[in-house]
Amino acid sequence: MSAPVLEVANLSVAIKGSGDRPHAVRGINLAVGANEIVCVVGESGSGKSVTAQAVMGLLPKAAMAVETGSIRLEGEELTTKSDADLRAIRGTRMAMVFQEPMTALNPVERVGDQIGEVLEIHTDLDPRERRQRVLEIMRAVHLPDPEQMIDAYPHQLSGGQRQRIMIAAALVLDPALLIADEPTTALDVTTQAQILKLVREMQGRKKTGVLFITHDFGVVSEIADRVVVMQLGRIVEQGPAEEVLRNPREDYTRMLLASVPSMTPPKRVPVTGQVVLQTEKLFKTYGKRSLFQPRARIVNAVNDVSLLVRRGETLGIVGESGSGKSTVARCIARLVPPSSGAIKIDGSDIAGMTEAAFRPVRQRVQFIFQDPYRSLNPRRTVGEAIIEGPMNFGLSRGEALQRARELMSVVHLSPEALDRYPHQFSGGQRQRICIARALAMRPEVLIGDEPVSALDVSVQAQVLKLLDEVRRRFNLAVLFITHDLRVAAQVCDRIAVMQRGVIVEQGTTSDVFAAPQHEYTRALFDAAPGRNREFFAGAAAGA
Amino acid sequence: MADVILDTPVVAEPAKPAVSIRKMAHNPAVMFGGAVILIVLLMALLAPWLGTVDPTAINPIARNKVPGTEISVRTDTGERIKMVARFGTDSLGRDVYSRVVYGARVSLLVGVSVALISVACGMFIGVLAGFFRILDAIIMRIMDGLMAIPAILLAIAMVSLFRSSVWTVIIAITVPQVPGVVRLVRSIVLSVREEPYVEAAVTLGTSTPKLLWRHVLPNTIAPMIVQGTFICASAILVEAILSFLGIGVPPEVPTWGNIMAEGRQVFSLFPHNIIYPGIFLAMTILAVNVLGDGLRDILDPKMAKRV
Amino acid sequence: MYGYLFRRLLGTIPVMLVVAVFIFLMLRLTPSDPAAIIAGDNANAEQVAKIRGQLGLDRPMIEQFVIWSGKVLTGDFGESFFFKKTVASLIGERIEPTLSLAFFTILIAVLVAVPLGVLAAHRHGSWVDRIVMGFSVLGFSVPVFVIGYLLIYLFAVYLNWLPVQGYQRISEGIGGWVQRLILPSVTLSVIYIALIARMTRTSLLEVLSEDYIRTARAKGQIERKVLFRHALRNAAVPIVTVIGLGIALLIGGVVVTESVFTIPGLGRLTVDAVLARDYPTIQAVILLFSFVYVMINLAVDMMYTLLDPRIRY
């Protein structure tokens, strides 16, 4: 192997002040060769982003500092460089792409100027030459109609296009090292596939070394030459991608891989129970033309959606952002009023009911939200959160508390924890509490709106398991909203694929996965990262 | 089923109020502001025992004396005693020191009352506007209109209509403050009602009044304490301005603004009429503002952005 | 853009209507006879009766309001019994000093405050930052008239550099005009310097924590350019807002400053009118100032479109 582009040796980054741990990363060693993509993978708090920032010399000065170790770029030590020297290297020999293309571009400056800024800083090209170079690189990253787009503002571009602009700005001076910090996490799966392809292509063009930070093993399997697994600031395992993904040596890696849901749906017996939830020709329209805004846009967020869920069955709604999948869920829970159509719970239509008439039905439909950090009132104890609903429906405090204690064991938390506040729990534990809170209402329908999307993959697996448990135990009809095909494959009996407000395909999970009918569904499946790979399925059943 | 029961270490964080109080004791802004306000408060309460004489007693033979002059005054019992006019006397011969000490009473009364009343009214109206769509449009149009009238002008206009008294002044200063509180409360309510935990409470069938009381209102407390402090400072200032312009509290009542108003005509010869009450006024307002800054840093870091 | 301007102009109508209703009701809801109040303390019974007829007090409230607002819309605010002039001409006479004072104040405030705020944000946490913030709190807290008298005492009485009080019209010579405006505008600008510097600092600090600032640094951009090219323009919207708000608040400050420096402007007129209970004048001044406030707000909103390409109407 030729001399590595990047060589990190025994690097420790100290966290200033009193944190929960003294080091963000500790004693890590890794290298990135030319023409090589190294994926750093880990859950939140693993220190993978800090590593990237340390290499770029962009650690937040007030909070963190490199304590020991060396970072060499093409053999040149970076940790001892002055700020001015580092600035001269950033943008020319190493460059970085960030997670949020929304916020990583300056909203008030034209995108062409933002790419050109790199040339302005590091070269003495005149404005005309700069424009030429910007157009060239914009063409190279396959942006449509660069002559037009060069003068656009970021908000006029789509998320994928913005990320292409970021990549163009990073690569315009052909750096030896590209650092990509979760560059596709904020993007939809189809866009993600395109950006991954682009990173591959651009990396091959000039034999760039790429340090690619991600939490997603699907992405790793798509793009990595080598993999570095991090946990709590340390490197657990590293090696060639095939080897780490196929034969992980360490338990932690094994556990992570085992937590990645399989793309192959398990065999399921069709559920034949009674229909509990049914929507007919459901519409939700946003925007209204008025005298003053005659050209206001009208959006059909939900367009003619008809679906049904049986007792004991999980129906998944799968789609990308803006597909209207959450709006369907929110309409059913009456968090937003539907524009037209029927929503039947046990046969009675709730869509047009008054709030008073709906009230008795309310307890039968319960909801689990995406963000476990915001779905519990931080000022009230877990116990108060769980008993709130039952007490609204006439249970005495004592009875409600008794029910809360039972439910805490159902969700595998200690009943003593009822007196604690939400901030004392981790994200996964909070989601368990939210499930207990929903169950306390003795619901028939449980709606989960991306209930595991905010969780790390290992925690996600546990919460999914719990959801399956409670579905069986209480014979619930579950409506499961997700963007993640792997999750859908594992938990849903049937799935409905939504695109721009419309259900384009509906069927049993095994049918849809085996033979997708609609072209959009096929596109979704094609885009799913690592779709052809089983991550260690079954091998770590004991974990 | 032995998996994951409280798997991660429980963060040992004590309940929130205790944290805030401890932080306050370590915040220099809160300590400084609080200490100065405490001193002014004690001064107001203990005014009769701080070597003062009747602040309204006119004394024709001791007019316009510079600070440090010895004057003779008549006490309550009618006997004449000699005393040093520490801050001098005004053009009616009243002892400026006594007037300044007693003046703290009006300033604090006005500041605290305006803060309490405007926060109470503002919260009530703001919650209504934030939670009930139908009321929102009407309320906010009225608030926009009220906000369009410059606060001091609105206060002046209101004072001019009624007989001047401390309570007229308080009401006149309160009314222009209310729209600001309403807007703040409304914006908090609007953002809190989007929170998943509020939506969760909706799906749990919690009634609207309970929802407001349990989940929404607690979020307004910290910003209201901070906002109330700033309103208090501003009210003390506006009261002084009104009195200074001669349209506030009746001129015989000792207030810092009135003392300065009285001293305006002769100020180039006898600046003490302006300087002493000016220092007390500025220090008090400064202390309240500093306290507000400190409280904001502790209670409501997000609000620091709104200035 | 023009469509938006038009819609916004329409939007100011309800606001001004609320102001008008408020001003209208304020006078009618007092316990005493509005006609007597308007006529002033020195009026005789005949004058009061005449005013009562003009106001149409015997007619229903709605009708009175329509008549009154109809007159206001044509610029007829009635007659000031105290000044013995029409209110419109009175305001015309008094507007120049106030505009001059406001102009100089805003000029000084912006020129001093924005650089101070930028400096404080740039040196966040340093002693420079602390001094700027300290002065800012002080600036909020010291009443305008206390600052005014201190400055008069120092520069006019003690050092004898500048005239004590008064105003000289611009037509009588620019030198004297400027000279007499220096102290009042500096006095009045203190609070706005405090306000704008603080706002500049906070919004810059907020912007400096944004992702695109990190992007600029990742490109190897130098700090000065990060600050001026990327941060300041993004921070401009809140800064412009607070400057606009400042101009609106200025109106209140003008009342006090003109009294301290005996400047015969609208502020002084307001105080005199209140002291004389000259209601037609008070109503007119409040309406005028509120109208200015609403228009400034509108102008600020229009400025946003220039500063931020995302805002398109």
- Picking from A82, A105, A117 by the largest number of C CB atoms within 10 A of its own CB, the best residue to mutate is A117
Residue from the list C14, C199, C282 with its beta carbon closest to the beta carbon of B307: C199
Average pLDDT over residues B194-219: 90
Closest-CA residue to C269 (of C97, C139, C112):
C97
Question: What was the pLDDT predicted at A296?
Answer: 63
pLDDT at position C30 is 67
Instruction: Quote the minimal CA–CA distance from B6 to chain C in Å.
Output: 35
Least Cα distance to B205 among A406, A345, A391 occurs for: A391
- A426, B22, B58, B299, B302 from B14: Cα distances, Å: 17, 11, 58, 16, 22
What percent of chain B is helix, strand and coil (3-state, nearest 5)? 70, 5, 25
C residues 252-281 lying closer than 8 A (beta carbon) to B: 252-253, 255-256, 259, 270-271, 274-275, 277
Name which residue leads in pLDDT, C238 or B116: B116
- Which of C256, C248, C257 has its CA nearest to residue C184? C257
Domain ranges of chain B: 20-306
Residues in chain C closer than 8 A to A107 (CB atoms): 212, 234, 308-310
* Residues forming beta bridges with residue A316, ordered by sequence position: A480, A495
Q: Are the beta carbons of B214 and A380 separated by less than 8 Å?
A: yes
Chain C contact probe: residue of B110, B149, B234, B272 with most C CBs at under 10 A: B149
Please tell me the distance from the alpha carbon of residue B283 to that of residue B41, in angstroms, as a whole number.
Answer: 13
CATH 1.10.3720.10 maps onto chain C at: 93-307
Nearest to A186 by CA among A118, A101, A304, A85: A101
Tokens of C288: 């005028």
In the sheet with A234-240, reading across from the earlier edge strand, the strands are A94-97, A177-181, A209-214, A37-42, A226-231, A234-240
**β-pairing verdict for A37-42 and A209-214:** parallel
Q: In 3D, which of A212, A297, A261, A207 has the Cα closest to residue A480?
A: A261
pLDDT computed for residue B5 by the predictor:
38
Q: Say yes or no to pLDDT of A414 above 70.
A: yes
Contact criterion met (CB < 8 Å) for A56 and C219: no
**Residues from chain A contacting residue C211 (CB–CB below 8 Å):** 98, 100, 103-104
Tell me which residue in A90, A114, A155 faces C220 most closely, judged by beta carbons. A90
Return d(Cα C236, Cα A7) in angstroms, integer.
42
Residue stretches of chain C with pLDDT short of 50: none
What pLDDT sits at residue C1?
Answer: 63
pLDDT of residue A541: 37
Listed by start position, the domains of chain A span 34-49+83-258, 275-364+442-527
Determine the pLDDT at residue C158: 78
Alpha helices in B204-271 (DSSP H): 208-211, 218-244, 256-263
Which residues from chain B sit within 8 angstroms of residue C251, using beta carbons?
150, 152-153
Q: What is the average per-residue pLDDT within A466-482?
A: 93
- The C-alpha angle C174, C178, C182, rounded to 5 degrees, equals 175
Listed residue (C26, C201, C161, C182) closest to C108, CA to CA: C182
For the four alpha carbons of C302, C307, C311 and C313, in that order, the dihedral sign comes to positive
Tens of pLDDT, residues B258-302: 888 887 777 777 778 888 888 899 999 999 988 988 888 887 665
pLDDT of residue B14 exceeding 50, the answer is no
Q: What mean pLDDT, rounded, does chain B reach? A: 81
Residues of A in contact with C309 (CB under 8 A): 107-108, 153, 155
C195 touches chain B (CB under 8 A): yes
Which pLDDT does position C166 carry in this prediction? 75
Hey, is A239 helix, strand or coil?
strand
Burial class from Cβ neighbours inside 10 Å (0-12, 13-18, 19+) for residue C225 reads middle
Query: Which residues face A495 on adjacent strands?
Result: A316, A507
- Which pLDDT belongs to residue B15? 40
Please judge whether A118 and C222 are an interchain contact, meaning their C-beta atoms are less than 8 angstroms apart: no
Distance CA C141, CA B283 (A): 8
**What average pLDDT does range B37-55 have in this prediction?**
82
Chain A contact set for B8 (CB, 8 A): 426, 429
Question: Across the interface, which of C210, C221, C309 has its CB nearest the CB of A117?
Answer: C221
Q: Any idea how long chain A is? A: 543
Beta carbons within 8 Å of C2's beta carbon, 6+ residues apart: none
Angle formed at CA B81 by CA B78 and CA B86, multiple of 5 degrees: 125
* C-alpha closest to that of C277 among C39, C32, C20, C19: C39
Would you place residue A538 in the very low, low, confident or very high pLDDT band (cuts 50, 70, 90)?
A: very low
Tell me the one-letter amino acid at B229.
T
For A28, phi then psi, to 5°, come to -95, 150
* Distance between start and end Cα atoms, chain A: 37
Q: What is residue B11's predicted lDDT score, i.e. its pLDDT?
A: 36
H-run or E-run covering C111:
helix C87-122
Tens digits of residue pLDDT in A44-77: 888 898 999 999 998 888 788 898 999 999 989 9
Is A429 in Cβ contact with B204 (below 8 Å)? no
What topology does CATH give the domain A34-49+83-258? Rossmann fold (3.40.50)
User: Chain A to chain B, count of Cβ pairs less than 8 Å apart?
Assistant: 83
Query: From CA C270, how far away is CA B245, in angstroms rounded?
Result: 11
What is the C-alpha separation between C104 and C178, in angstroms, rounded?
A: 9
Asked whether the predicted pLDDT for residue B306 surpasses 60, the reply is no
| Res B1 pLDDT > 60 | no
Please judge whether A374 and B204 are an interchain contact, meaning their C-beta atoms are less than 8 angstroms apart. no
For C151, nearest residue in chain B (alpha carbons)? B268
Across the interface, of C220, C230, C307, the residue whose CB is closest to A88 is: C220
CATH architecture of the domain formed by A275-364+442-527: 3-Layer(aba) Sandwich (3.40)
Contact between chains at B203 and A377 (C-beta distance less than 8 A): no
User: What is the pLDDT, as a whole number, of residue C41?
Assistant: 66
- Give the sheet arrangement for strand A275-286, strand by strand: A299-310, A275-286, A340-345, A348-349
Task: Assess whether the region A34-49+83-258 and the region A275-364+442-527 belong to the same CATH fold.
Answer: yes
Distance CA C100, CA C178 (A): 9
Check pLDDT > 60 for residue B304.
no
The answer to whether B197 contacts A423, with C-beta atoms less than 8 Å apart, is no
Q: Chain B contacts of A449, Cβ < 8 Å?
A: none
CATH superfamily of B20-306: MetI-like (1.10.3720.10)
Higher pLDDT, C55 or B307: C55
Architecture in CATH of C93-307: Orthogonal Bundle (1.10)
What residues of chain A lie within 8 A of the CB of B11, using their CB? 423-424
Instruction: Answer whether C14 sits within 8 Å of B150, measured CB to CB.
Output: no
pLDDT at A18: 62
User: Measuring CA to CA, how many Å separate C180 from each of C155, C175, C267?
Assistant: 12, 9, 17
Calculate mean pLDDT across residues B217-222. Answer: 88
| Beta carbons of C234 and A122 less than 8 Å apart | no
ipTM of the complex: 0.82
Residues in B 9-38 with any Cβ partner in A closer than 8 A: 10-11, 13, 15-16
Q: Are A325 and A496 within 8 A, CB to CB?
A: no
Question: Do the beta carbons of residue A306 and residue A279 sit within 8 Å?
Answer: yes
pLDDT value at A343 more than 50: yes
Q: What is the pLDDT of residue B140?
A: 87
Q: Which two tokens mark C204?
A: 């810059």
pLDDT more than 90, % of chain A: 57
Residue type, A212: F
Asked if A370's CB is within 8 angstroms of B199's CB, the reply is: no
Q: Tell me how far apart the alpha carbons of residues B210 and A393 are, in angstroms, rounded to a whole number.
A: 13
Q: For residue A376, what is the nearest residue in chain B, using CA coordinates?
A: B197
Q: Which helix (H) or strand (E) holds A42?
A: strand A37-42
Chain A CB within 8 Å of residue C307 CB: yes
Alpha-carbon distance C230 to nearest alpha carbon in chain A (angstroms): 7
- What pLDDT score was predicted for residue A539? 44
What pLDDT score was predicted for residue B231?
A: 93
